[in-house]
Structure 1
Amino acid sequence: MARREHRWPQPLAGQQARIWYGGDYNPDQWPEDVWDDDVRLMKKAGVNLVSVGIFSWARIETSEGVFDFDWLDRIIDKLGKAGIAVDLASATASPPMWLTQAHPEVLWKDYRGDVCNPGARQHWRPTSPVFREYALKLCRAMAEHYKDNPYVVAWHVGNEYGCHNRFDYSDDAMRAFQDWCRARYGTIDAVNDAWGTAFWSQRMNDFSEIVPPRFIGDGNFMNPGKLLDFKRFSSDALKAFYEAERDALAEITPGLPLTTNFMISAGGTCLDYADWADEVDFVSNDHYFTPGEAHLDELAYAASFTDGVARKDPWFLMENSTSAVNWREVNFRKEPGQLVRDALTHLAMGANAICFFQWRQSKAGAEKFHSAMVPHAGEDSQVYRDVCELGADLNKLADEGLLGTKLVKSKVAVVFDYQSQWATEHTATPTQHVRHWTEPLAWFRALADQGVTADVVPVGGAWDEYEAVVLPSLYLIDEATARRVREYVADGGKLLVSSYTGISDERDHVWLGGYPGAIRDVVGVRIEEFAPLAEGDGTPDHLDLSNGAVAHDLADVITSVADTAKVLATFRDDPWTGMDGRPAITVNEYGDGKAAYVAGLLGREGLALSLPQLLDELGVDTPMETDCADVLRVERADESDENHFVFLFNRTHADAVVDVEGEPVVSSLVHLTMSEHSAVIKPNGVLVVKL
């Protein structure tokens, strides 16, 4: 199916296009005498868009078929007349109590068959025909009522699909899963083959014998083929529900672009967002920071992948936090400067909209300790002052021409694959300490240590158009992807591959003949066994490499190396383990290109140590400055290069000195020298210059 045409929310009549700035606004949580103050503070902060009605179903449809739009009309009118556009939600994220009381069959069930009762949010099953009927009725009522409203610029369909109802094991889900398998495979024999049901006598005679991967007893092992397909099905089932809502809204309001907020982060693998991106008019993402030393790097990685999912079209940061969240065991606040820096990192990576959850911090409810643009402390607070500073920065950048630019393509692509992650989650694997998602992040950070800000690209994206490509623990490689890899390297591409790549095909059937079977000829090594590494009674928890790096969690037992391959590093270990002297890092010539293989998980530190030699062997140039690792450099430019911006972010907790190549436009925690040819970027600081 073709990707939907990119359509972006247009400015209100009489206004110029700006970087959209605002957040989730929940006026129904507050008395109306607060609304005017909200509008005043929004204007002061430079807010020009808010998302309204996301969790307002019970307030909009107060009982079955009884709609109250009056309060929503009043607040949208106040906002619009103040020049603040509305991203209007379909309001279907959580059904009201009257609906679940009348129709408990819409509630999802867990894998043990227990019902998820109302009391939180997303307590509905996506395959319920009853719930779909009620949800689409609400969508149509919303669209009919607001189809001519001049202040509504986009539809916010649902909210964070699958955040709480990713998996449903009800009979509705069972029937839908059977239909999904029939559509995917055609015959039950094809399903049996895909799932390897000859093992443990699991052969099925008919599609009616297909059941979801429900509880099978503690300590038992689910069929990995079924489990992988159920994860695919669950993503598709939620997508089908979103599409039904989207189409109901679009039929009545064809002129309004539609989106739904993804949850892309390094470890956020709930749904296949690379697949979902084809079904939105513009990509939106919710991202919440990772506390600690990985904060900036993980954020930049996730933002880069969002840009990759969006295929470098402008994307919308729908939610991030001004400071602490409320859902971790310990909810750390953001350090001074991080509110502005984090937002500008998303902007640097291709976002043309910066929004927060939420506008005003709740005084009651489950998220009352989640930070907001206006905190409990009110207007006289550092958070709100930073919100105002950010609003001014965004307006300045829009004035300078940033809106017409896109993220400049990197020379290196790091590939990520949702389905490889799902496959590595199975409980019967060589080690439970390895998951696909950690390896792309480690490579992204290690490359940044070399001064290279990589693009993160989905496996189905255009990664083969880059100078160099990283396949980091890409566990599943189908024949089509393997063919792309061969053609890419044979045509002169530069490939970097790490352990646990190319192990199985798309059905999770192991490629035979030695690992990595899918691309063994390209990398020029043959692996007979894995060597898991973990603390135990006499077992090694790591392996040293001859270049000083250290492998943790997993290493490969390479038994042969092609004549065209060169060994760059070997393992160092006691002779009795059988690993001492075995190849650990190799580079193979294949056609006109080269492929490097790293036979262990080295982490960010080990990769950073190994990359200079690896990149040199592959012929990939990197910046020569010794301090380039201290600063994350990101560029946005238009096609003519008339507007070219460089964003410089301090990655450390020490001052970073940088050369100033152009005209400083925006800065936070930066000291410019008298000559303005260099600058000191403080910890959590950012400098934006225009070349």
Structure 2
Amino acid sequence: MTMNQRREHRWPRPLEGRRARIWYGGDYNPDQWPEEVWDEDVRLMVKAGVNLVSVGIFSWAKIEPREDVYDFGWLDRIIDNLGKAGIAVDLASATASPPMWLTQAHPEVLWKDYRGDVCQPGARQHWRPTSPVFCEYALKLCRAMAEHYKDNPYVVAWHVGNEYGCHNRFDYSEDAERAFQDWCEERYGTIEAVNDAWGTAFWAQHLNDFSEIVPPRFIGDGNFMNPGKLLDFKRFSSDALKSFYVAERDALAEITPEKPLTTNFMVSAGGSVLDYDDWGGEVDFVSNDHYFIPGEAHLDELAFSASLVDGISRKDPWFLMEHSTSAVNWRPINYRKEPGQLVRDSLAHVAMGADAVCYFQWRQSRSGAEKFHSAMLPHAGEDSQTFRDVCELGRDLGTLADEGLLGTKLAKSSVAIVFDYESEWASEHTATPTQNVHHIDEPLAWFRALADVGVTADVVPIRSNWDEYDVAILPSVYILSEENTRRVRDYVANGGKLIATYYTGISDERDHVWLGGYPGSIRDVVGVRIEEFAPMGSDWPGVPDHLDLDNGAVAHDIVDVIGSIGKDAKVLASFKDDPWTGMDGRPAIVSNPYGEGRSVYVGARLGRDGIARSLPMILETLGVEVKDSSDPDLLRIERVDESTGARFTFLFNRTKEPVSMLVEGRPVVMSLADCAGATVTINPNGVLVVKQ
């Protein structure tokens, strides 16, 4: 899909007679509990301010206990109980995991791994996206669900599937093989074009016919898969799951055209399962599941990921479908959240454009694989700090709605950090200059470093209008297609201010290297010509593990060997090293004029600290001023009503010490914060929301 081919944004409407509010709730699994528990659930939901729950996500076996035998009675009763209490339902298609009767009757729907082993039932998502048999059963269930609930006033949206590709991203079955062949024929048209794209002249991999295309199955330990083929298989896998989602979506929409549809993405700083920006054009409203990163990066990574979701949504309101009240259950060590983080984390998502805050899940499970995953109502019950915080958050969200937050959007930053899923997929290959460098790591480092100098950047997909920002950062954007190369050139030529880093513009969309020295297609824009990479590490005695810059920054993992710079380029920082290494005095950071604009090229992996140290010089060179009021101890995010000018400023403490400041405007929500006149002190894990 292109930037212009996106579905119209449609948001779930409030229940009849109810005002529009920030949606608040979570996954609800009443089928895990006896019905006598349901009344208590509804009572406590009302107490907490819950106004929406997602129901039926993993309920296929309960809804259709045997083939063509449906039991909607239990689901009708709980939806009716919820709706009468003012709690809307985001109803799942229930297709996330097939029941045992289906997989026993049709084992051919089970996906296979790259060695050919079958994924057996016993967990979830054990189905093939390309299985026509599974698709037939899933769409039959979708139509039955839609027919039964098409007139139900309490169902306000469809939750299609669940976290597509979380476990079945790659399938190497015979169905997948046929589908991959068809995908390649549709993409390339001729087998000669496939041979050219994949460079099959290398290692005698020439293909005579589309029937010779096979998925990138096991090729032996330590061997190297064809990079072009592997990149295309990742594209195909995202498209295959998307096609399955679209089939489900359309089956539901045909019967219930008035109900908006979504599915939950998994956008995080470390998440590149699917091309979520591509998927973003296929949903009526963007939804995301996000789980916190423990430790010192917690808040910054959350804000980075939420900003990317806002970019995928093109600044339309988006839905936080899942996050956690405290610990998850799927890490080796599952750290709890600190006091205050339950409220703060949710408000950080809201600050970044979310008009819905939901958790996994409402009531903590008593049994099963997720029984130790935190919930809104924990094992400890109503008398617990978690539930008290859940109630506090419900009141805060109600206050923000009353104050007019709905209808506002995340204010546009002057700086865009560009994120590209395909650059990440290409940089994941096992035959690269270093396995320690991937695209996915660099955007977060730049987001955090910019925050350290008081700038809150927007994180935007490469398909978006990043070229409409004052400053655009291309952080290790490994793939630059001809189209995106043109966009870069036009952006800077027309006055844009570009920051590009190492590992940017290495290859085109086929993963063919741009020749003539890196970064091949934009060398003249950034004013450098790189002859080779100089990776660093600690795996062999005596190899270099870092390289100093003369501005005090330190490079790790990789630097560029810049052989020459443009005649008008200016070196901002150089490497310092022993003279015999050939790196001493070489350019590390270079500024270059191009047309009406200017670029800065950073030829080293500097990490958050090194970027922050270098940013004042870089921004000054680009003519970018940082506001005097900026405070690196605070993460400052604003939502604006474009029609009235009303502004909500969210201030988050990024440190482990209290932070005090003067504020303009009226505080409307505070958590772990104290006001004394115009002076506010925000404690660690605290947040303040001010309306102006």
Scaled by the length of structure 1, the TM-score of the pair is 0.99
Picking from 558, 561, 564, the partner of 2:562 is: 558
Aligned-partner Cα distance in 2 for 1:576–1:438:
31
Aligned-partner Cα distance in 1 for 2:202–2:675:
68
Aligned-partner Cα distance in 2 for 1:200–1:584:
36
What is the Cα deviation at residue 429 of structure 1? 0.4
Picking from 75, 80, 95, the partner of 1:92 is: 95
Deviations 1:328-387 (A, max 9, x none): 000000000000000000000000000000000000000000000000000000000000
What is the Cα deviation at residue 657 of structure 1? 1.0
Structure 1 equivalent of residue 550 of structure 2: 546
Structure 2 equivalent of residue 621 of structure 1: 625
- Residue 242 of structure 1 aligns to a residue whose secondary structure is helix
Structure 2 equivalent of residue 510 of structure 1: 513
1:584-595 matches, cutoff 5 A: 584-595=588-599
Structure 2 equivalent of residue 329 of structure 1: 332
What is the Cα deviation at residue 25 of structure 1? 0.2
Aligned-partner Cα distance in 2 for 1:291–1:155:
32
What is the Cα deviation at residue 394 of structure 1? 0.2
Picking from 607, 614, 623, the partner of 1:610 is: 614
Aligned-partner Cα distance in 2 for 1:149–1:640:
35
- Residue 467 of structure 2 aligns to a residue whose secondary structure is helix
Give the length in aligned residue pairs.
688
2:615 equivalent to 1:632 = no
Deviations 1:413-452 (A, max 9, x none): 0000000000000000000000100000000000001111
Aligned-partner Cα distance in 2 for 1:563–1:341:
50
Q: Which amino acid aligns with 2:404?
A: G
Deviations 1:245-301 (A, max 9, x none): 000000000000000000000010000000000000000000000000000000000
| RMSD between superposed Cα atoms in Å | 0.6
Picking from 261, 270, 290, the partner of 1:258 is: 261
Structure 1 equivalent of residue 400 of structure 2: 397
Structure 1 equivalent of residue 138 of structure 2: 135
Structure 1 equivalent of residue 149 of structure 2: 146
What is the Cα deviation at residue 77 of structure 1? 0.2
What is the Cα deviation at residue 663 of structure 1? 0.1
Aligned-partner Cα distance in 2 for 1:200–1:576:
37
- Residue 66 of structure 1 aligns to a residue whose secondary structure is coil
Aligned-partner Cα distance in 2 for 1:620–1:33:
62
- Residue 143 of structure 1 aligns to a residue whose secondary structure is helix
Structure 2 equivalent of residue 156 of structure 1: 159
Structure 1 equivalent of residue 173 of structure 2: 170
Picking from 347, 350, 372, the partner of 1:347 is: 350
Aligned-partner Cα distance in 2 for 1:236–1:382:
43
Q: Contact 1:450 / 1:623 at 8 angstroms: preserved in 2?
A: no
Structure 2 equivalent of residue 457 of structure 1: 460
2:500 equivalent to 1:497 = yes
1:416-565 matches, cutoff 5 A: 416-535=419-538, 536-565=540-569
Deviations 1:618-669 (A, max 9, x none): 01111224x7110000000111244210000000111111221100000000
Deviations 1:166-189 (A, max 9, x none): 000000000000000000000000
Q: Which amino acid aligns with 2:585?
A: G
Picking from 595, 600, 607, the partner of 2:604 is: 600
- Residue 520 of structure 2 aligns to a residue whose secondary structure is coil
Picking from 42, 49, 52, the partner of 2:45 is: 42
Picking from 208, 212, 237, the partner of 2:211 is: 208
2:650 equivalent to 1:679 = no
- Residue 666 of structure 1 aligns to a residue whose secondary structure is strand
Q: Which amino acid aligns with 2:250?
A: D
Deviations 1:105-137 (A, max 9, x none): 000000000000000000000000000000000
Deviations 1:285-332 (A, max 9, x none): 000000000000000000000000000000000000000000000000
Q: Among all aligned residue pairs of Structure 1 and Structure 2, give the percentage whose two residues are the same amino acid.
A: 76
Aligned-partner Cα distance in 1 for 2:512–2:458:
30
Q: Which amino acid aligns with 1:227?
A: L
Aligned-partner Cα distance in 1 for 2:223–2:489:
39
Scaled by the length of structure 2, the TM-score of the pair is 0.99
Aligned-partner Cα distance in 2 for 1:319–1:612:
37
Q: Which amino acid aligns with 2:362?
A: W
Unmatched segments (≥5 aa) in structure 2? none
2:576 equivalent to 1:575 = no
Deviations 1:604-628 (A, max 9, x none): 0000000001000001111224x71
Structure 1 equivalent of residue 30 of structure 2: 27
Structure 1 equivalent of residue 690 of structure 2: 689
Moved more, 1-10 or 180-189: 1-10
Q: Which amino acid aligns with 1:90?
A: S
Unmatched segments (≥5 aa) in structure 1? none
Aligned-partner Cα distance in 2 for 1:153–1:275:
25
1:243-322 matches, cutoff 5 A: 243-322=246-325
2:135 equivalent to 1:117 = no
